[in-house]
Amino acid sequence: MNLAAALLPVTQADVSNTYQVTDTLPVDNARTTVRFQLATATTDGTKVMYFVCLYTSRGQPLLDKDLERWLCDRKQLLSQTGRSKVAVRVRFYVRRNFHQKGLATYIVDGEENLFRRWGAKEIQVFAMDLGRWVWTRERFRYSIPPFDFGLMQQRYREWQRATGVSKIRLATCLSDFPKEFLLSPAVGTLPLFKSL
Amino acid sequence: MTSELKVYNQFREVILHIRVASGDEAGFYTIDATDEMKAAISNIRGLDFDRTVGKGNELLRFTAKWGSPEYAQVLARYLVNNFGWTTKLVETQQPSVANSLAASGSYLCYYVGTSRSLPEASYSLVAKVTTEDPEQHPSPLVDTTTTAAQTVELSCQP
């Protein structure tokens, strides 16, 4: 299988266009690059990995690391048993001086449209670093598998105990975990998902 | 094959102790666990394990088929790498190089721990030494911590 076939019914141009952003944002679309890799016969079936670099009009990078996404045609679902087409948000590190400018929201919305058109049944996120706080906000509507939520509950209890909290609290949902906990070394990577 | 997995928190308390059977009779049996861990573990019964952990610029992936012999070890490695917990793994019904000890009248060792593809972090293995008559000779646990590719050698004493 080649790249074009793996991306059907979308095209490489559709993917690239997703990262052409509105001119109200500090991105020079002409400098944007999208690099594709194809891996066949992986654990996740055929896998398209792509990497995006964004720059300002002065050539300054907007991202600390290349934005990285995977499109897997047979990845294990987190919302239910079985395998299907899954889009994975791997890395998206916006440089600090470009935070709060609407770039992430713009790109995330565009990506969801792309993933839907590609036929993804689910979007998965490896929430790392600041993403552990960002992606767990209700507005993004991500869920955490019950297994991982249970582990987080356990870790949250221990974290409170270690930090001297007198009255231990339990989180009832993902957004109940406080920012200090989510961004602490107590937590590694959170697997999150959203059904499309 | 059956494995026993113990998970310890930062306070050195056991937060999860399960028996994991592989093969045709694959399953979990919870021996001891906090409510949170019990709830957590009940949700992966029967499922292939697949989790990814970011470490710096690297992604570490932990996958195991449900019922496979490596399932317990993969689960243990994930808990160590993503939550900083400590684990101890006892594998039973494994061929033992310590059978000669039994012939000399010492304890029969059902297990010799050999770390396989371990992560860079230190990793705990526990070797369970049982006697032919557990009623007469309590079964001690011999704990040892290994780093990658080390072999645990047991000293079995009556």
Per-residue pLDDT tens for A173-184? 998 999 999 999
B93: confidence class by pLDDT, cuts 50, 70, 90:
low
Task: Return residues 98-117 of A near B (CB < 8 Å).
Answer: none
Residue A13 burial (CB < 10 Å; 0-12/13-18/19+)? exposed
Rounded average pLDDT over B118-128: 36
| pLDDT over threshold 70, residue B132 | no
- Global pTM reads 0.79
Put simply, whether B40 touches A (Cβ < 8 Å) is: yes
Beta strands A122-127; A83-94: pairing state:
parallel
**pLDDT digit string (tens) for A99-119?**
988 899 899 999 999 999 999
Q: Does B87 touch chain A (CB under 8 A)?
A: no
Q: CB A189 to CB B54 under 8 A?
A: yes
Q: Quote the ipTM score.
A: 0.92
CB A143 within 8 A of CB A80: no
The pLDDT value given to residue A58: 93
DSSP string, B69-124: TTHHHHHHHHHHHHH--EEEEEEES---TTHHHHHTTSPEE----B--S--SS-EE
Backbone angles phi, psi at B139, to 5 degrees: -90, 105
> pLDDT digit string (tens) for A39-93?
999 999 999 999 999 999 999 999 999 999 999 999 999 999 999 999 999 999 9
Contact A88, A70 (CB under 8 A): yes
> Residue B136 above 50 pLDDT?
no
**CA–CA min distance B54, chain A (Å):** 6
Peptide bond into B119 cis (omega under 30): no
| Chain A nearest C-alpha distance from B79 (Å) | 9
Q: Which residue has the higher pLDDT, B98 or A29?
A: A29
User: Which member of B37, B57, B82 has the closest CB to residue A154?
Assistant: B37
Chain B residues near residue A146 by CB distance under 8 angstroms: 39-40, 43
In chain A, pLDDT over 70 holds for what percent of residues?
A: 100
d(C-alpha B93, C-alpha B2), whole Å: 7
- Which residues are bridge partners to B24 per DSSP? none
Inform me whether the C-beta atom of residue A146 falls under 8 Å from chain B C-beta atoms. Answer: yes
**pLDDT score, position A24:** 84
pLDDT higher than 50, residue B131:
no
Query: What residues of B are in contact with residue A188 (Cβ under 8 Å)?
Result: 53-54, 81-84
DSSP secondary structure string, A64-101?
A: EEEEEEEEEEEEEPSSSSSEEEEEEEEEEEE-GGGTTS
Average of per-residue pLDDT across A7-32: 95
Domains defined along chain A, listed by start? 3-127 (3.40.630)
Tell me the CB-side half-sphere exposure of residue B86, using CA atoms within 13 A. 15
Has residue B80 got a pLDDT over 90? yes
pLDDT in tens, B23-59: 988 888 999 999 999 999 999 999 999 999 999 889 9
Given a cut of 70, whether residue A30 has pLDDT beyond it is: yes
Q: What Cα–Cα distance (Å) separates residue A188 from each residue in A40, A68, A137, B28, B85? A: 29, 19, 17, 25, 11
pLDDT at position B9 = 97
Tell me which chain B residues have a C-beta less than 8 angstroms from the C-beta of A185: 84
Residues of A in contact with B36 (CB under 8 A): 150-151, 153-154, 157
Smallest Cβ–Cβ distance between B53 and the set A65, A158, A189 belongs to A189
Q: Between B34, B41, B47, which is nearest A81 by CB?
A: B47
